[in-house]
A = this chain, B = another copy of it.
């Protein structure tokens, strides 16, 4: 008993290496190395013997040392802007699930929409020798990041927001088409005065939506009234603030197209605050189809932007790019889908 205890103590000080395993099993280090890497060149009995030694000694493979020597990597990074936004958690789920199945370990970075943090996280990940990075850029992206991405040797996949000139693979959703379907749906329901609420008006994803919004109105012969286009932070709080501003006007809209589901929840709350019933007095359409949209009351009509699929696709693109660094850049734009529910 004493001896077992002592032995364990020793291990805790000096971790056992492949060398130790080889000696214990009476084989060479090279053989042991082949075995941890599942080489088929090793005779089954030798293999068994060595695995037994590993078990006995409590050997743990040092993947970091292996990666260093073989100049490979088994980690990848995913950088999102906000972890509390279920759009991003769904996306993260898609990325994580796919990459882990392939055998990568994922490093998570969260920028909280800060350019500085994004820069810093990118550096840290690359210093950690990730094999590649999936980047969902912050909304206020500068030229600096584009220049940086062009220089980076590590494969980078952009998701959600594009960075013009960055020369990376890209996956996103057709926000313009999505906004257009949302507004066309409202027009079809008989609405003529339709507000567009929320979102950061400098971001590319907002600009795409306003294009779709404008196009739908235009095609229906409805003039755009800029007083009912109000931007905000892309959050629930932002939606509440914006809708308060909207409801303080005289000529109220009969329908609101919201930048995102998150904004829509804030908008609904603001509408209730004003004594109106969302979905009845004012129709609401969101964007993203986050899981909450379906279970909200009233359930939210929205445009699905397929967060999880976006993540999956980004993961696949990254894997392809890692395996095949020289291939031509891909640009995948998913088609959104209108989910009609009770709020419109």
Residues of chain A having any CB pair with chain B under 8 Å: 11-12, 15, 58, 60-65, 67-68, 74-75, 83-84, 86, 89-90, 92-93, 96-97, 100, 105-108, 110, 123-129, 151, 153, 236, 265-266, 268-269, 272, 291-292, 295-297
| Bound Cα distance from A58 to B150, whole angstroms | 13
| Bound Cα distance from A64 to B266, whole angstroms | 45
Q: Are B96 and A265 interface neighbours, CB within 8 A?
A: no
Q: How distant is A49 from chain B, measured CB to nearest CB, in Å?
A: 21
- Please tell me how many copies of the chain the complex holds: 2
Q: How distant is A310 from chain B, measured CB to nearest CB, in Å?
A: 15
Q: How distant is A171 from chain B, measured CB to nearest CB, in Å?
A: 19
| Bound Cα distance from A297 to B343, whole angstroms | 13
* A93: nearest chain-B partner, CB-CB: B83
A97 partner residues in chain B, CB cutoff 8 A? 110
| Bound Cα distance from A12 to B155, whole angstroms | 12
A/B interface sample: 10 pairs, CB < 8 A: A62-B68, A64-B64, A83-B93, A83-B96, A84-B86, A100-B110, A105-B125, A107-B108, A292-B292, A296-B296
| Bound Cα distance from A64 to B70, whole angstroms | 13
| Bound Cα distance from A164 to B197, whole angstroms | 51
| Bound Cα distance from A128 to B65, whole angstroms | 9
Which 5 A-B residue pairs are closest in the complex by CB-CB distance?
A63-B127, A108-B108, A297-B297, A64-B129, A83-B93
Q: Are B272 and A60 interface neighbours, CB within 8 A?
A: no
| Bound Cα distance from A335 to B74, whole angstroms | 40
A90 partner residues in chain B, CB cutoff 8 A? 84
Cβ-defined partner of A295 (8 Å) among B65, B100, B110, B269: B269
Known: A83-B96, A84-B93, A106-B107. 11 other contacts (CB 8 A): A60-B127, A62-B127, A62-B129, A63-B128, A64-B67, A75-B107, A83-B92, A89-B89, A105-B128, A266-B295, A292-B292
* A153: nearest chain-B partner, CB-CB: B12
A297 partner residues in chain B, CB cutoff 8 A? 268, 272, 296-297
| Bound Cα distance from A61 to B93, whole angstroms | 30
Q: Are B124 and A105 interface neighbours, CB within 8 A?
A: yes
Q: Are A128 and B269 interface neighbours, CB within 8 A?
A: no
Q: How distant is A124 from chain B, measured CB to nearest CB, in Å?
A: 6
A108 partner residues in chain B, CB cutoff 8 A? 96, 106-108
Cβ-defined partner of A126 (8 Å) among B60, B67, B151, B266: B60
